[in-house]
Amino acid sequence: MAAPIRRLVLDVMKPHDPDILEFSQTVADREGIAGVNVALIETDRVVQNLKVTLEGEDIDADAVEDAISDLGGTVHSIDAVVCGTRMVDDHETPQDP
C-alpha cells in the first residue's frame, strides 16, 4: 500500500470561468482533502495560472486532477508532495539559493 499523500502543490491553468472561489470550493470538496489554498499567479485574456496547495489525510491525486479537468483546467506540473504518516516541511540546504 502506498503512503498517503498529505500535501500536494500543483501548477494549474484554468479558464476565467469558473471563478477562483467556485474552483477552490469544488476542488476542496473532494474526499481526503482537509483544506485548499489557491493563489492566482498570472492571468491573461483567456486563462489563469494558479498555484494550488492541498492538504489532507489521504489525498487522491487522480480525483483532484479529474476535478480540475471537469472545471476546464489542466495540471501543468506537480511542484511538491508530502507523503507518509506526518507532515514534513522543507528545510534550507546549502544547495538552496
What residues contact residue 44 under an 8 Å CB cut-off, 6+ apart?
Answer: none
Give the side-chain half-sphere CA count within 13 A for 19.
1
Alpha-carbon distance of 83 to 67, in angstroms, equals 21
**What are 40-87's pLDDT values in tens digits?**
999 999 999 999 999 999 999 999 999 999 999 999 999 999 999 888
C-alpha cell belonging to residue 97 = 539559493
Alpha-carbon distance of 85 to 95, in angstroms, equals 27
pLDDT on residue 86? 85
Please answer whether residues 76 and 13 qualify as being in contact, where contact means their C-beta atoms are separated by less than 8 angstroms. Answer: yes
